[in-house]
Amino acid sequence: MFNPRFGRRRALALCAALLGCAASPALLAQDFPSKPLKFIVPFGPGSGTDTSARYYAKKLQMLIGQPVVVENRPGGNGFIAVKQTLAAPADGYTVFIGSNSTLAVNTALFKALPYDPQKDFTPLTMMMRAPAVVVAPGDADTKQLKDLVAKAQASPGKINFGAGSAGYQLMGELFNDVAKVQTVHVPFKGAGEVATAVAGHTVDYAFAEATSVQELIKAGRLTGLAVASDSRVAALPNVPTAREAGLPGIEAYTWVGAMVSSKTPEDISAKLAGWFMQIAVEPETQQFYANLGATAMSGGPAQMRKFQADEIALWKRIATQAKIELQ
């Protein structure tokens, strides 16, 4: 009951304070999530990003007791998926499952982006990292990396490579720079299309995630020429590193990380980050990525923020060295 001696002004102030507390981020986070979550992926089915999104969606759904839907929005260099993510309410129910291309490499390829991959997003955690693999058609006479280099040197501008994203385009340009050759970039919408194009001789070679091509390599439809890392991949033990194949200086990784809009309340993003990291350290997750030729990552928001900044600096430097014309 209202106490007249308390005073109307003080009573209104108390009601306002109580209403404010009821809507505070801390209290809202206690009820989160109360409805299904959505993972937005900037690439189509078959990509390493999509594979990670679907694995985490299944695990997170079991953890929180709410459905987690994966929505693929390929094309436009990832801009379509980013725009949809940032246009959604910043309430934690929309998570962007991004990659090295959308969250780092695009900054090295475009004069201006319609988003800022650091300022517009709050990182949750890294999910995986995998070295890129240089692949050629399985029935071609290009069986070693030195064969590809020789062909490219003999036919400047006539050898082409497929790339399903800006990140792979930059890897191809890195190959051109290190090998001192000129090969031509052919864009595709995703990793699945690139693998099919290489196997069908539509393009001569490509850099691809081990996660998307290892089965095709084992089946003989693709030939793994080299792994762009400092060590071989357990899932592809017969594929040498680029250094072992005679071309040191080529080291490139693809990676996947989870982000939310930077406008998301801190308590909610922290809650999501905790769940993602909990999934990352599970033995099942470690084995899942090992089987795909990748490594599960679980550094959390701060480590991902630093990793992302380092990647942006790296690819900007490589783009400058390769003299890539900004789009």
pLDDT on residue 252: 87
Helix H or strand E encompassing 40: strand 37-41
Residue type, 10: R
pLDDT on residue 314: 83
Q: Are residues 124 and 258 in the same domain?
A: yes
Q: Are residues 193 and 54 in the same domain?
A: no
pLDDT, mean of residues 285-290: 93
Q: Are residues 41 and 126 in the same domain?
A: yes
Q: Are residues 50 and 116 in the same domain?
A: yes
pLDDT on residue 228: 93
| pLDDT tens, residue by residue, 104-150 | 999 998 999 999 999 999 999 999 988 899 999 999 999 999 999 99
pLDDT, mean of residues 222-251: 92
pLDDT on residue 160: 96
User: Radius of gyration of the chain from Cα atoms?
Assistant: 23
In a domain, 201, yes or no: yes
- What's the whole-model pTM score? 0.74
In a domain, 236, yes or no: no
Look at residue 55 and tell me whether its pLDDT is greater than 90: yes
Residue 243: how many other CB atoms lie within 10 Å: 17
pLDDT on residue 323: 79
Q: Are residues 223 and 267 in the same domain?
A: no
**Least confident among 15-19, 46-50, 283-287, 315-319:** 15-19
Q: Are residues 153 and 222 in the same domain?
A: yes
In a domain, 2, yes or no: no
Tally of CA atoms within 13 A in the half-sphere of 198 that contains its CB: 32
In a domain, 216, yes or no: yes
DSSP codes of every residue in 93-138: SEEEEEEHIIIIIHHHH-SS-SS-TTTSEEEEEEEEEEEEEEEEET
DSSP for residue 45: T
Look at residue 205 and tell me whether its pLDDT is greater than 80: yes
Look at residue 19 and tell me whether its pLDDT is greater than 50: no
Q: Are residues 168 and 310 in the same domain?
A: no
Place of tokens 């692949």: 135
Look at residue 77 and tell me whether its pLDDT is greater than 70: yes
pLDDT on residue 285: 97
Q: Are residues 41 and 113 in the same domain?
A: yes
| pLDDT tens, residue by residue, 145-188 | 999 999 999 999 999 999 987 788 889 988 998 999 999 999 99
Count up the domains in the chain and report the number.
Answer: 2
pLDDT on residue 23: 46
In a domain, 182, yes or no: yes
Q: Give the end of a domain, one of 227, 243, 278.
A: 227
Range of the domain at 153: 133-227
pLDDT on residue 1: 37
In a domain, 28, yes or no: no
pLDDT level of residue 243 (50, 70, 90 thresholds): very high
